């Protein structure tokens, strides 16, 4: 099981939208140096809906290559077509990824039985650990806790990223996972930076974090403090990061976080349509959040 801060990595692009693999190598080195606990490549923060299959494969393979076993790499392999998700998961396995992250099918709005069968089929037809990803605000479909815990009983299903931001639901998930403890390990990851600390104190194992793109060492320290029961240090770090937790979502993710990463010299400013660069009116918000966290920008 992977504990702590798992960065939901942005996909670096050149101003013309082409993938920037030299920058990806630098990002991997940055997260190794800053001690992120794992990298999630080509998740939804990585603009997975806008890359084609060849690019998706290349991002997974290059990230695994650049990581060189120094940090676990979890491959985003979600799709709203079950066969496509299976194919991506099989590629991730062949490329050497540690596990996969697969989002609830979006747009087609399956019911609970459809969600269950989608993930159960992926788990049955692949040979790599599968982390479920529930983000109803983006997909239009909400996987219930009951469905998630039903899936958790399958051998290949190893975790859940819950991005509902609902602490009551988080508590129920922790209780449900405790009931599984004598059968298997099952990881719970927050997918909502603003409520991640509360989820960790409730018993979650980590966070798959957007903020960790910008402040990886602080996110890792916050997670470690929470897991150690060190309330004072965890709260102090949370409040330093709180502006980022809030304002990296002032526009659709990953627009603000890619702009922030550019401001601190990690990547260039490329982003793909239908997403557009961060509006001038929101740039001051993100700059203020960076300063609150004590992060130096190129403009300062």
Report residue 117 as tokens: 């069968």
The single residue listed with the structure tokens 């931001």 is: 165
CA distance 156 to 99: 10
Chain segment 96-148, per-residue pLDDT in tens: 999 999 999 999 999 999 999 999 999 999 999 999 999 999 899 999 999 99
Structure tokens belonging to residue 35: 């001690």
pLDDT at 53 over 50: yes
| CA distances for 256 relative to 1, 39, 47, 51, 110, angstroms | 30, 19, 13, 19, 30
- Residue 151: what pLDDT? 97
Catalytic residue among 66, 106, 161, 258: 161
pLDDT tens, position by position, 160-211: 999 999 999 999 999 999 888 777 889 999 999 999 999 999 999 999 999 9
Tokens describing residue 138 = 């983006």
Residue 133 known to be catalytic: yes
pLDDT band at residue 56 using 50, 70 and 90 as cut-offs: very high
Q: Which residues contact 164 (CB under 8 A, 6 or more apart)?
A: 134, 135, 136, 142, 192
Query: According to the model, what pLDDT value does residue 300 have?
Result: 41
pLDDT band at 233 (very low <50, low <70, confident <90, very high): very high
Q: Map out the domains of the chain with their CATH numbers.
A: 4-228 (3.20.20.70)
Active-site hit among 66, 106, 116, 133: 133
Q: Is 106 a catalytic residue?
A: no
Distance CA 51, CA 11 (A): 10
CB 290 within 8 A of CB 82: no
pLDDT at 152 over 70: yes
Work out the average pLDDT over 45-67.
Answer: 97
pLDDT band at 153 (very low <50, low <70, confident <90, very high): very high
Mean pLDDT of the chain: 96
Three-point CA angle 91, 118, 97, nearest 5°: 25
Residue 298 binned pLDDT confidence (cut-offs 50, 70, 90): confident
| Distances 132 to 7, 53, 187, 192, 207 between C-alpha atoms, Å | 16, 21, 10, 15, 13
Residue 299 in this model has a pLDDT that exceeds 70 = no
pTM of the full predicted structure?
0.95
Residue bearing tokens 């939804």: 44
pLDDT of residue 183: 75
Per-residue confidence (pLDDT) for residue 34, from 0 to 100: 96
In this predicted model, what pLDDT tens digit does every residue of 260-285 receive, in sequence order? Answer: 999 999 999 899 999 999 999 999 99
Cα–Cα nearest to 10, from 34, 36, 43 = 43
Mean pLDDT of 70-87: 97
Residue 296 confidence class, pLDDT cut points 50, 70, 90 = confident
Report the percentage of the chain scoring pLDDT > 70: 99
């Amino acid at each position: 099981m992977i504990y702590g801060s798992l960065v939901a990595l942005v996909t670096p692009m050149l101003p013309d939208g082409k993938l920037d693999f030299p920058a990806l190598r630098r990002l991997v080195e940055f997260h190794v140096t800053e001690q992120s606990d794992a990298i999630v490549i080509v998740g939804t923060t990585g603009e997975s809906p806008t890359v084609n299959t060849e690019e998706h494969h290349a991002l997974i393979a290059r990230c695994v290559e650049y990581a060189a076993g120094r940090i676990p790499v979890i491959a985003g392999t979600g799709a709203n077509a079950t066969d496509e998700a299976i194919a991506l998961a099989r590629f991730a396995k062949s490329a050497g990824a540690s596990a996969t992250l697969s989002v609830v099918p979006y747009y087609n709005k399956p019911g609970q039985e459809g969600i269950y069968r989608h993930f159960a089929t992926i788990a049955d037809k692949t040979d790599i650990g599968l982390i479920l990803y529930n983000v109803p605000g983006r997909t239009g479909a909400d996987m219930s806790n009951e469905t998630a815990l039903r899936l958790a009983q399958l051998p290949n299903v190893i975790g859940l990223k819950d991005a509902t931001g609902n602490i009551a639901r988080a508590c129920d998930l922790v209780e449900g996972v405790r009931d599984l403890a004598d059968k298997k390990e099952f990881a719970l990851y927050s997918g909502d930076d603003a409520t991640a600390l509360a989820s960790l104190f409730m018993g979650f194992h980590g966070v798959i974090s957007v903020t960790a793109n910008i402040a990886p060492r602080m996110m890792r320290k916050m997670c470690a403090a929470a897991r150690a029961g060190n309330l004072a240090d965890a709260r102090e770090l949370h409040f330093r990061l709180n502006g980022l937790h809030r304002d990296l979502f002032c526009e659709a993710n990953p627009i603000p976080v890619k702009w922030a990463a550019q401001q601190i010299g990690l990547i260039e400013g490329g982003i793909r349509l239908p997403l557009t660069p961060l509006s001038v009116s929101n740039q001051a918000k993100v700059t203020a959040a960076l300063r609150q966290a004590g992060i130096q920008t190129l403009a300062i």
